Amino acid sequence: MDYLVTHSPALIVALPLLAAFAIPLISRLGPRVRAVLCLAVLGLVAALVAILAVDVHAVGIRLYTFGATAPEMALPGGYMVPVRIMFEVDGMSIFMGIVITTVAVASLIYSLQFLNGQTGQARFYSLMMLLYVGMMGLAFTGDMFNMFVFLEIASIAGTGLAAYRTNMADAVEGGFKYIVISAVSALMVLLAIGILYAQYNVLSIAALAHYMQYTTLDMMALGLLAGAFVMKLAGVPLHMWAPDTYTVAPAGTTPMILAASYTSMYALYRITFTLYGGHIDTAAIGWIVIIVGVLSMFVGVMMAVHQTDIKRMMAYHAISQGGYMLLGVGVGLAVIADPVALANYGRDAMNGGIFHIINHVFYKAMLFMTAEAIFFRVGTRDTNKMGGLARNMKWTAIFYAIGALAISGIPPFNGFASKLLIYQTVLSFNPVLSVIAMFVSLVTLASFAKVFYSAFTGPEMPGYKEVREVPKSMLIGMGILAACIILFGIFPGLIVDTIVAPATEALINQAPYINAVMGAAP
């Protein structure tokens, strides 16, 4: 057990990586064996994530230094700087780990029957595992350069998945847009890493934060990193790729690509709070984050209202909901230097923003799955051509309704819990922002209700008499997420206390992250 806990950060990344390259070989034994292997690997990794989460919750930061005599030994004997590659898992990292793993399990189960009869399935599962590896590595890494490498792994795998249906012209276009913005933003990150390395001669995030002087060059690096990650997380005005890529990716993978966007958001937080924490002008940077958040919220929802493509509408809503997360965390960042305001509402605003990540990934992942379930049976994404589908696709309709209510912030679903936290705290910070947030929520409800009526209710369409409910594995995939949505909606306090609050604490207080590596340095 001890051995498992100690080595879990490495195993969580290594096992799916091995599986990714074993899958094309195993596929020769038949699709059933492949499905069992994929499920077994992800199930095992999910168990490891759970073990690690309990450990991080109880003990604190878990360090894994590759190649060291003991994994906790960040500084080799006689050295004053960390030279080895390391993973550093704190509250925020494990929070992202839980989000990514849950979505990956649901997506995998959903994909099993969704892909029946399609060619290139072996490569599909390989890429899915690689995307998972990229995201988990990005969440766990304690090293700037590995951040770049895992970002690229996630980008390449994500592109392969988005453009999986190469026979469809729009799928290839969506994939191409994704790789262009991913390649450019990853290279910007590398340029920033070069600038940081030139000054401090280290790559470890903790060591960089320890030595940070905040010179003009550091400011340029911060600008490059922030720009790159805002582009990757689809914040307005750098959101243009997201609707295209989310729309065309096959359903099992849209949730994963969505989670990859929020992993980039995690990287943005890691940079601003941990790497530059204590040096930047927090009020100014906080306001920039708030403005990007409010713009994303507003532009996203306004673009979503008039869409007729169901997945495209949801993609714009994803941009809009990303704005809530930025708003919550931005408010926290703006008041981080003021202990009274931080205690009064700043910490809760950040709790709300971070809680919204997990809530949003769950319900939006499920909504994308329902949209693709309709596409799977009906063959169109155009809401004007749908109608009366609830007669034959009861479960899909129920899941859609749960997701729609959750995204609009209606109790007792999880969206309500995090949105309420954001409204309340932002109200004490600046009432105007809170009003905008509530208005956006109303428009969201209107837009989802409109699609529900046009797609699921109404008279039976003559062409869709033979439409049946989607296969079991797809329903199970959606059901897992629906169960999480309802559970999180009923017990929000429990979730906030166990996984969200440690994540917020990890962001606000950068000292433990630095000391875990640099504590022994003179």
CB of 183 to other proteins, least distance (A): 5
| Given 143, 218, 244, 348, the residue binding other proteins (CB under 8 A) | 244
| Given 16, 97, 235, 243, the residue binding other proteins (CB under 8 A) | 243
CB of 41 to other proteins, least distance (A): 23
**Judged by CB, which is closer to other proteins: 36, or 180?**
180
Q: Does 145 bind other proteins (CB under 8 A)?
A: yes
Binding to other proteins (CB under 8 A): which residues in 304-343? 307, 312
Q: Are 158 and 256 in contact (CB under 8 A)?
A: yes
**Judged by CB, which is closer to other proteins: 12, or 190?**
190
Q: Does 302 bind other proteins (CB under 8 A)?
A: no
CB of 191 to other proteins, least distance (A): 5
Q: Does 149 bind other proteins (CB under 8 A)?
A: yes
CB of 204 to other proteins, least distance (A): 12
SS3 37: helix
Furthest CA-CA distance within the chain: 78
**Judged by CB, which is closer to other proteins: 240, or 520?**
240
Binding to other proteins (CB under 8 A): which residues in 163-192? 163, 166-170, 172-176, 179-180, 183-184, 186-187, 190-191
Residue 64 belongs to what H/E stretch?
Answer: strand 62-65
Q: Does 159 bind other proteins (CB under 8 A)?
A: yes
Residue-by-residue DSSP string for 246-302: HHHS-TTTHHHHHHHHHHHHHHHHIIIIIISTTTS-HHHHHHHHHHHHHHHHHHHHH
Number of residues engaging other proteins in binding (CB under 8 A) = 38
Q: Does 198 bind other proteins (CB under 8 A)?
A: yes
Q: Which residues contact 169 (CB under 8 A, 6 or more apart)?
A: none
The Cα-based distances of 104 to 45, 132, 177, 450 in angstroms read 11, 7, 23, 30
Q: Which residues contact 378 (CB under 8 A, 6 or more apart)?
A: 385, 386, 389, 464, 467
Q: Are 207 and 518 in contact (CB under 8 A)?
A: yes
Q: Which residue in the block uniquely carries the two structure tokens 């109790």?
A: 411
CB of 165 to other proteins, least distance (A): 10
CB of 245 to other proteins, least distance (A): 9
Q: Are 231 and 238 in contact (CB under 8 A)?
A: yes
**Judged by CB, which is closer to other proteins: 191, or 427?**
191
**Judged by CB, which is closer to other proteins: 119, or 459?**
119
Angle at 324 between CA 103 and CA 476, to 5 degrees: 20
B/e letters for 480-510, b = 16+ CB within 10 Å, e = fewer, are bbbebbeebbeebeebbeebbbbbbbbbbeb
| Given 12, 48, 52, 193, the residue binding other proteins (CB under 8 A) | 193
**Judged by CB, which is closer to other proteins: 130, or 482?**
130
Separation of alpha carbons 504 and 496, rounded Å:
10
Residues that bind other proteins (CB under 8 A): 145, 149, 152, 155-156, 159-160, 163, 166-170, 172-176, 179-180, 183-184, 186-187, 190-191, 193-194, 197-198, 201, 203, 243-244, 247-248, 307, 312
